[in-house]
Structure 1
Amino acid sequence: MTANSACQRQHDARVNGITKTDTPAAIHGPTPRALPDICFELRAKIDAFLEEQPDDGVLRNVQRQVRVSMDVIQESLRRYGADHLSLSYNGGKDCLVLLILILACLPSCAPPSSPSPDNPPPPTIVSPRRPLQAIYIVSSDPFSEVEDFVAASAEQYHLDLKRYALPMRPALEAYLEDTPIIKAIFLGTRRTDPHGEFLTHFDPTDQGWPQFMRVHPVIDWHYVEIWAFIRHLQIPFCELYNRGFTSLGGVTDTRPNPALALGGDTSKFHPAYELRDDDEERLGRD
């Protein structure tokens, strides 16, 4: 089975990663579900995915990527503690995958309260204590669809989201001034992104920038792997991706990807997840 054929069958059954028989209200409900319930459900879903034995090579690669990324996230939790970590979140596909993986890592195993060397009880599962902190650096001319998706997903996943309509450096300066407890920020940067070529999983910020540790759990994921994860796990995503946008910026510098134009018609486009080549991902960005 090819990745394209699998994606096509999934597209027939889903819109935005949601089955067509479901409605947003049925999925999100009138009020968000409790954060521990969401985290435990995501962890169970990812654990089940990792136990699958897919015939599709892309999904096997995704399984390997998920294991590496979760190891990086868990190492971050050990180094800094959940209270000192934040996520850079703008509703895009990469940080969406990262958000799901972080939430799945928040339930943690704690040692038993009264360990016995002879017959130790199993560790207990500790629920996340508080929402994940996050920063949203808003484009100077954001799409309404992006704004709506960020607001809806932040509510759904209980993000403690602070919004800054500033350029990146002053936005980070303001965020760290407002939230000085933050020591490290998760970023959805990938190797093929601008300035991503030489990044590692852990990189301190450059001189002259606000000082914190940049954590890149999905740095080595490929474009098709990001979409395979989102669609296989049926994660709702921003509507613009269904219209041929492959990289989300602002209204004035982002357009549908010309590589996805339907038969040369520049008014109709394949959805973003049908793109195959990493090098073509940003063709819709100026």
Structure 2
Amino acid sequence: MRPETTLQELCVQMHHRVSEFLTREQNQNLQKTQRQVRVSLKILEEAISKYGLDGLSLSYNGGKDCLVLLILYLSALHNHFPARLRAVHIRTLHPFTEVDEFVAESQRTYCLQLVHYQGRPMREAFADYLHAHPEIRAVLVGTRRADPHGSQLKYFHRTDRGWPDFVRIHPVIDWHYADVWNFIRELDVPYCSLYDRGYTSLGGTEDTRPNPVLKRDWGYAPAHELEDDDMERLGRD
């Protein structure tokens, strides 16, 4: 991807790649992921229609789930001619260097207008972000059912009492772990290098380690080899 690629060109490119993925010959696993992609795109189109480009932002931390969401969002924007892509990065207290580097690379590659918050509780960081950008009414989030507090979430879910008031949008909420890696690998999307070293869920350096299920005699198998959603967070404290 050329460094001089504009956001509009990038959206068209991603739309072509996602559309091509949806037309590929289907096996059972790929068919499930293609179905998830179609549902997610409908949710994103509804969000764009409801809140407008200036009313939306993306929560991005460099993890696999929000990476999938980013690619889908870019694809959904292909005929809206966005001037910018708003995003917020709430950085963990003890970040991995590899994650920081990947977030910076993503910011350049995907034309993200990314606002960073360091070592702040998520609630406070969002309060500051929305105070600085009062036009934003909804935030796209890469939460899935397997995540803590994800089991009861809806596609459009207003924040809980005590949080700053905005709508959380969860386009990939019903994706399974295998769907995430099917999509990333089929589209050949670059991802954080920690996933190739056995990490399956990324937090900070003090609460994240390679997934023990992927331990081998020679080290750790890559994240995409994990098969069970319920084991995704075994490397997290």
TM-score range, shorter-chain basis? over 0.9
Alignment-derived partner of residue 61 in structure 1: 32
Aligned match for 1:161, one of 105, 114, 118: 114
Query: Shift of the alpha carbon at 1:181?
Result: 1.0
Of 149, 154, 178, which residue of structure 1 is paired with 2:132? 178
RMSD of aligned alpha carbons: 1.0
| Residue identity in the other structure for 1:156 | T
Return the alpha-carbon distance in structure 2 between the equivalents of residues 209 and 256 of structure 1: 32
1:249 and 2:203 are equivalent in the alignment: yes
Please report the TM-score for the alignment, with normalisation by the length of structure 2: 0.97
Task: Give me the whole-angstrom Cα distance separating, in 1, the residues matched to 2:84 and 2:228.
Answer: 35
Q: What pairs with 1:170-209 in structure 2 (closer than 5 Å)?
A: 170-209=124-163
Judged with a 3 Å threshold, the aligned counterparts in structure 2 of structure 1 residues 279 and 32 are, in CA distance, closer, same or farther, namely farther
Determine if the alignment matches structure 1 residue 236 to structure 2 residue 190: yes
Q: Deviations along 1:141-173, whole A, 9 cap, x unmatched?
A: 000100000011111101110000111111111
Structure 2 letter corresponding to 1:154 = Q
**Residues 32 and 155, structure 1, Cα contact 8 Å, conserved in 2:** no
> Take 2:41 and 2:24, find their aligned partners in 1: how far apart are those partners?
17
1:11 corresponds to: none
Unaligned 5+ segments in structure 1 are 1-26, 109-125
Q: Structure 2 regions of 5+ residues with no counterpart?
A: none
State the TM-score, normalized to the length of structure 1. Answer: 0.81
Picking from 41, 60, 73, the partner of 2:44 is 73
Find the counterpart in structure 1 of residue 235 from structure 2.
284
Match status 1:89 vs 2:60: yes
Give the distance between the partners of 1:58 and 1:174, measured in 2 at CA.
Answer: 41
What SS is found at the alignment partner of 1:163?
Answer: strand
The corresponding residue for 1:12 is none
Question: Contact 1:32 / 1:156 at 8 angstroms: preserved in 2?
Answer: no
Measure the CA separation in 2 of the matches of 1:232 and 1:131.
27
Letter in 2 for 1:273: H
Work out the number of aligned pairs and report it.
236
Partner AA of 2:196 in structure 1:
N
CA distance in 2 between partners of 1:210 and 1:127 (Å):
29
Offset, 1:139: 0.5
Matched-pair contact (CA < 8 Å) for 1:136–1:162? yes
Distance of 1:220 and 1:188 partners within structure 2: 10
Partner of 1:142: 95
Amino acid at match of 1:85: L
Q: Is residue 269 from structure 1 mapped to residue 220 from structure 2 by the alignment? A: yes
Task: Tell me, in whole angstroms, the C-alpha distance in 1 between the residues paired with 2:220 and 2:88.
Answer: 31
d(CA) in 2 for partners of 1:47, 1:139: 34
Distance in 1, matches of 2:54 and 2:36, equals 25
After superposition, what is the alpha-carbon deviation per residue over 1:196-249, rounded to whole angstroms, capped at 9, x for unaligned? 000010000001100000000000000010000000000000000000000110
* Identical aligned residues as a percent: 51
Q: 1:248-282, CA deviations, whole angstroms, 9 ceiling, x for partnerless residues?
A: 1000000000000014x6xx100001001000000
Matched, 1:43 2:8: no
* Residue 32 of structure 1, CA deviation: 4.1
Question: Which 4+ residue blocks in structure 1 deviate beyond 4 angstroms?
Answer: none
Which residue of structure 1 aligns with residue 77 of structure 2?
A: 106
Instruction: Tell me the distance in 2 between the aligned counterparts of 1:131 and 1:146.
Output: 23
Task: Kindly state the Cα deviation for residue 127 of structure 1 after the two structures are TM-superposed.
Answer: 2.3
